[in-house]
């Protein structure tokens, strides 16, 4: 039952976000913020597919314990692509609110993203092993969480300042995604049921993509 439900959910998620992303790229009407948002959605779906497809295969065949290497490799790739996702989201913020200058912000975003990727590349993560250390899961997620916090604050302040009704909940989608994701990082190995929080985390990302899609449909007529 778990295999069927999770596989259907993940397949629907991947198809939805990648389809919306491609649609936004092709029908953005020359509006760069929405084309960029489309690429962001494609990166999200394509990156997650490296983890979710092997997971679906494992659940539907011989079990997760027999797919340690492809699952670990998928998590590794997804960790990097999610970092790219937030860098792209930062640039969506800059374009939507016509931000000029603030080079220190851009430097901070790139520094946090680079540190996150560097930590993800360290062999101590032992991505391809069954007993990957929790400590390195925490280390690599510190700059990632700080990057997410920065983007949360930027969208919250700008949407409020500009009375941006379309993006008024963008900050909340990111808060929810991290709120559901961090307990998984910290405790899922000890309490496997906590891994179920990845479902509402995924729903938060779908909400993020839908916000951009609805804004494009409303503003690119």
Q: What is the pLDDT of residues 75-95, one digit of tens each?
A: 999 999 999 999 999 999 999
Residues of the chain by 3-state class (helix, strand, coil), percent to 5? 85, 0, 15
Pick the CATH number of 2-219 from 1.20.58, 1.20.1070, 1.10.10, 3.40.50: 1.20.1070
- The residue ranges of every structural domain in the chain are 2-219
Q: What angle do CA 152, 202, 33 make, to 5 degrees?
A: 50
Q: What is the pLDDT of residue 221?
A: 66
| 114-117 long-range Cβ contacts below 8 angstroms, 24+ apart | 115/143, 116/79, 116/83, 116/140, 116/143, 116/144, 116/147, 117/80, 117/83
pLDDT at residue number 4: 83
Using CA atoms of 35, 37, 43, 48 in order, give the dihedral in degrees to the nearest 10. -140
| Residue 189 token pair | 């190995």
The DSSP output letter for 65 is G
pTM equals: 0.94
In the predicted model, residues of the chain with pLDDT beneath 50 are none
């Amino acid at each position: 039952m778990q295999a069927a439900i999770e596989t259907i959910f993940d397949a629907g998620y991947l198809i939805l976000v990648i389809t919306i992303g491609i649609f936004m790229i092709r029908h953005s009407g020359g509006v760069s913020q929405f084309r960029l948002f489309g690429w962001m959605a494609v990166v999200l779906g394509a990156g997650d597919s490296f983890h979710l497809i092997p997971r679906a295969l494992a659940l539907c065949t011989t079990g997760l314990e027999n797919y340690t290497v492809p699952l670990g490799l998928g998590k590794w790739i997804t960790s990097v692509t999610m970092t790219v996702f937030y860098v792209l989201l930062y640039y969506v913020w800059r374009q939507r609110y016509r931000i000029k200058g603030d080079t220190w912000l851009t430097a901070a975003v790139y520094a946090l993203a680079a540190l996150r990727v560097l930590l993800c590349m360290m062999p101590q993560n032992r991505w391809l092993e069954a007993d990957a250390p929790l400590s390195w899961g925490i280390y690599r997620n510190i700059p990632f969480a700080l990057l997410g916090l920065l983007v949360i604050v930027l969208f919250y302040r700008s949407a409020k300042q500009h009375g941006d009704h379309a993006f008024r909940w963008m900050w909340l989608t990111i808060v929810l995604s991290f709120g559901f994701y961090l307990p998984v990082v910290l405790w899922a190995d000890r309490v496997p049921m906590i891994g179920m929080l990845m479902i509402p985390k995924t729903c938060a990302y779908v909400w993020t993509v839908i916000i951009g899609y609805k804004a494009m449909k409303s503003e690119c007529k």
